Structure 1
């Protein structure tokens, strides 16, 4: 028996890296029976039939996991959004942040394609994103075309295991190519009819960048809150989580309750009204969800 890490999953095969050697493995039948899916990032015990093929026998305990994208044991999630083509979408950003916060993964916000904006548009966008910086999120503005911000971005990768997430067409693949020339990963143009990119990444795979690992993932444009209960949602908004301690009633949902410290902070501008509206939108969505059995 040997141990390694799954660095790619494709067509029912799991590619396990063990001291620089890649072993193509299948999962044991017991995983399917118990409805357990090995994920990229899993630390596993495998049994090799030869120096190239084997079977995954055991999955080590995970510190975290995501199902969209399917990945485990992540240090940080880099949320990639474009300034233009497609336009920056704050509702979608907040949906991503809710999911990442819920799984207690460190989020970083990355805005690409800054070279497509005029000077006044850049100023407006940075003012809009300053809300997230005040909350405590790190925000990086960059361009794969002009290489603006690329070295700053490289420094935050460090020796971490990171996952890229965001809409398709925002420049995730172009960013990887800019970080490591020679990758020559396939990119795609934005569909003028749909206003979004076509998926160019078909599977989850770790790509080594300097001393770290980045998982390039298939792009997607929506997220469901199936894992969250209504009591969980406010916790995933750091500013609501902090201010909620001052609410008069325990378990306050910051919706219709009296003496709510969060609603008071929204009125004074201490909490972003836009973020609060997104919170209410997500809260209504969770309330309207069909009961889980």
Structure 2
């Protein structure tokens, strides 16, 4: 038996990196009976056939984390990539990605890419989200901005690069490691949205202690794991902090009186756009509960 990590899965075949190389494997039927599907990032035990050097996954070790979209396991860090321009920055989507990463208890880095196109706006957003408590790296492949800082941040982690299509995830990964040669795509001039370039989920090795995951872009993310409206504040650091001083413990920071969160929005201590995103998500959760 040999231990390894699944770096790619296509059409029922799993490619497992071991100390002696990559082995093409199939999963044992027992996993189907247990309704357990091997995921990229899974640490596994495999049995290798002497005849053709292919293998079978015999055991999947317990996962420390698991994402549904993209379907990956054992990720330690999320790099949420948004572009400042082409396509324009979308804080609604950024905050939605942050909710997902917070839910999975991942370390989070926000990467504001193409920062050279609107440097002042990029710096403003960096300041806003750093004040909330997130680490933010402004990057530009064209200008070589932030690439070295990003490389250092990836060390000793299995990182997932998440973000909508067209923001430059593949270009950033190519800049981090020139051996990747990932396909990149421009933003559609008709829809102003990115063209999908990544077709499958794959774990890419930077070096012995660093892997990154290039994954398909998304247009929406499901937050139905938040069962009660009151739970949403747990995914907004600043709203949770200021909400401790609201008049009512059950304050949802919408129409309630003496709401400290609304006061802080008015005073500029909570980013208004982010508060509006919070209210949008709150309404979405209410609608989910109705059904």
Calculate the TM-score normalised by the size of structure 1: 0.91
2:274 aligned partner:
275
Residue among 151, 163, 168 paired with 1:171: 168
Once residues 111 and 264 of structure 1 are traced to their aligned partners in structure 2, the CA distance between those partners, rounded to angstroms, is 29
Contact in 2 for aligned 1:206/1:216 (Cα 8 Å): yes
3-state SS of paired residue (2:121): helix
| 1:103–1:251 CA distance, 2 compared to 1 (3 A) | farther
1:137 maps onto 2:138 in alignment: no
Instruction: Specify the alignment match of 2:263 in structure 1.
Output: 264
Is 1:38 aligned with 2:38? Answer: yes
Structure 2 residues without counterparts, runs of 5 or longer: none
Are residue 87 (structure 1) and residue 88 (structure 2) matched? yes
Cα distance change, pair 260–215 in 1 and its aligned pair in 2 (3 A): same
Task: Give the match for residue 13 of structure 1.
Answer: 13
* Match in the other structure for 1:215: 213
Aligned to 2:122: 125
TM-align CA RMSD: 1.9
Q: Secondary structure at the match of 1:246?
A: coil
Which residue does the alignment assign to 1:195?
192
The residue number in structure 2 matching 1:54 is: 55
Alignment partner, residue 29 of structure 1: 29
1:111 partnered with 2:112: yes
Which residue in the other structure is 1:181 paired with? 178
Deviation track 1:87-144 (CA, whole Å, cap 9, x = no partner) reads: 11111101100111111111111112223x2xxx321332133210101111111111
Listed one character per residue, the Cα deviations across residues 25-52 of structure 1 (whole Å, up to 9, x for unaligned) are 2222232233322111111222222373
CA contact (8 A) 2:78 2:162 kept: yes
CA distance in 1, matches of 2:250, 2:25: 47
In structure 2, the partner of 1:101 is: 102
Q: Is the 2:110–2:135 Cα contact (8 Å) retained in structure 1? A: yes
1:245 partnered with 2:210: no
Q: Distance in 1 between matches of 2:35 and 2:263?
A: 46
1:14-33 Cα distance to aligned partner (Å, 9 max, x none): 11112142121222223223
Offset at residue 179 of structure 1 (A): 1.4
C-alpha distance 278-267 of structure 1, shift in aligned 2 (>3 A): same
Partner of 1:284: 283
**Could you list the runs of 4 or more consecutive aligned residues of structure 1 that deviate by over 6 angstroms after TM superposition?**
none
* Equivalent residues in 2 for 1:214-233, closer than 5 Å: 214-229=212-227, 230-233=229-232
TM-score (structure 2 length as normaliser): 0.92
Query: How far apart, CA to CA, are the structure 2 residues paired with 1:190 and 1:76?
Result: 27
* Match of residue 74 from structure 1: 75
